[in-house]
Amino acid sequence: MIKYRYFVRRVLVYGLISVTVMLSAAVTGCNNKNNISEGSIKTEGSTKTEGNNQSEEFSETDVNDQPSDIDVEPPVIHGISDKTYYIGSKVSYMTDVYATDFSGQEIDVEVDKSQVNTSQPGSYIVYYKAVDSYGNETIEEVTFTFIEEETQEVKVNSSYSTLDEVVAAVLQDITDNSMSKGQKARAIYKYAHSKIGYTGNSYTNSSEWQDEAFEALKVIKKNGYVAGDCFTYASVDRALLDGIGAECIWVDNQGARSGDHSWLLCNLGTGWYHFDSTRMYDGFECFMLTDSQVQDYINRGNSIYRRDMSAYPATPSEEFSY
């Protein structure tokens, strides 16, 4: 009987020691995770401590015991690249920038542009950060360079002295009298969408859309192509749509993750529809779309068309036809 009690006592003691060791290992593992410096990229096995076999065993067991559906892949940030601007240019840090997690779901991207001074020439690092729902983090850096503006030949010598003249010349090239107003609008969309290449800057850096449209259209007539941003697209869209007798309202986004964006509401006689010939990273085309169609795009995680809806007329519920 004495031997039995002694055996039980030994079992209880050793059991208590085992539990204590396990708890100590667990606490050690948690502390290691908490000691990861802020801003560092988490990597698999970061809880292991060199020379501590108990910690290593716990870390490996802990990773293996996690559910198989936990995402350990870091997010991917798309649409970022080194860019060059002229000093004082309007800079868009988030246009066409987005991130996806392991499943392909679009997630938020943060940008740190605190080092940038747009009024001084030089190269500056801009950081982009994305964190998925599991805490996996990706940080990427790109360089934004600002240079002195050279003497640009923005003014293209041509026979066109007014915006109306160059608009008339372009419309003569891409439309004819047999086309309906809707067909002409589609031709305008295809023209601007194909002839303007997207960059971070508008073509003229002018704040007046008429000046932007005039210079951009002259360059397209001369060279067949021009580079610009959403302001360039919207300016050309508006000038050409005005030329076919359409009504246009300028629209600016509100609180979009992808940065400032402008587009048009266009009325060809059947109600207001969204019109935007800007090239989108995902191939989305905004030709005469209803509020519902634009909202569907927003619901898929694209914030570029967010706006104060009370400031603009509602579109018809019927899809546009021509």
What pLDDT, on the 0 to 100 scale, is given for residue 322?
A: 84
CA nearest neighbour of 21 among 10, 31, 29? 29
Query: Which residues are within 8 A (CB) of 105 and not within 5 positions of it... i.e. 6 or more apart?
Result: 301
CATH of 163-311, one of 1.10.730.10, 2.60.40.10, 3.10.620.30, 3.10.290.10: 3.10.620.30
Q: Is 133 helix (H, G, I), strand (E, B) or coil?
A: coil
Q: Which tokens is 139 given? A: 């940080």
What pLDDT, on the 0 to 100 scale, is given for residue 185?
A: 98
Q: Hey, where are the domains in the chain? A: 2-64, 76-147, 163-311
Separation of alpha carbons 131 and 69, rounded Å? 17
Question: 286 vs 91, 253, 282, 291, CA distance in Å?
Answer: 23, 14, 12, 11
Separation of alpha carbons 55 and 60, rounded Å? 9
The answer regarding whether domain 76-147 maps to CATH 1.10.287.70 reads no
**What one-character-per-residue DSSP string does 177-244 give?**
TTS-HHHHHHHHHHHHHHHEEE-SS-SS--S-HHHHHHHHHHHHHHHS-EEE-HHHHHHHHHHHHHHT
CA nearest neighbour of 186 among 282, 291, 286? 286
Report angle CA 239, 213, 246 to the nearest 5 degrees. Answer: 10
Give the CA count within 13 Å in the CB-facing half-sphere of 307. 21
Separation of alpha carbons 207 and 186, rounded Å? 27
What pLDDT, on the 0 to 100 scale, is given for residue 238?
A: 98
pLDDT tens over the chain, length 322 residues: 433 433 333 444 344 444 444 444 443 333 333 333 333 333 222 333 333 334 333 333 344 444 556 668 899 998 888 887 778 777 878 877 889 998 888 999 999 999 999 888 899 999 999 999 999 999 999 998 888 754 444 445 568 899 999 999 999 999 999 999 999 999 999 999 999 988 778 889 888 999 999 999 999 999 898 989 999 999 999 999 999 999 999 999 986 665 689 999 999 999 999 999 998 877 899 999 999 999 999 998 888 899 999 999 999 999 999 8
What pLDDT, on the 0 to 100 scale, is given for residue 306?
A: 92
| Intrachain domains 76-147 and 163-311 with the same fold | no
Q: Is the dihedral of CA 190, 196, 261, 167 positive or negative?
A: negative
Separation of alpha carbons 174 and 16, rounded Å? 86
